[in-house]
Amino acid sequence: MALGARRANVTAMILGKATMLLAAGLVLGAALSLVAATAASTILFGLKPRDPATLAIASAFLAVVAVVASAIPSMRAASVNPVDSLRAE
């Protein structure tokens, strides 16, 4: 903000980085969960090891939690007065 960025730019930057981390985590997590489900399929009685609905619901829930968890600090960072921040440094 001290260099001319608006509050919306600061919030978008933080949320954009969080979204990239979220996407990477969801892809890796989904792949690992499918591998783990395949490995654990012998002990799952009456359950499908690869249920796309469960994977989609879990991914959506994690995405909502991640966006909310990153939105709060991004709004807080956007509301900081740049002069006070520079003085503290």
Residue 85 falls inside a structural domain:
no
- The pLDDT assigned to 84 comes to 76
Q: Which domain holds residue 66?
A: 7-80
Q: Is residue 39 part of a domain?
A: yes
Output 59-65 pairs: Cβ under 8 A, ≥24 positions apart.
59/26, 59/29, 59/30, 62/22, 62/25, 62/26, 62/29, 63/22, 63/26
**Is there a domain that residue 89 lies in?**
no
Domain-embedded: residue 2 = no
* Residue 21 resides in a domain: yes
Please report whether residue 55 resides in a domain. yes
58 within some domain: yes
| Per-residue pLDDT at 50 | 81
Q: What is the pLDDT of residues 39-87, one digit of tens each?
A: 888 887 777 778 888 889 999 999 999 999 999 988 888 888 777 777 7
Number of domains in the chain: 1
Mean pLDDT value across residues 26-42: 89
pLDDT at 28 over 60: yes
Residue 16 covered by a domain? yes
Q: What's the predicted TM-score (pTM) here? A: 0.74
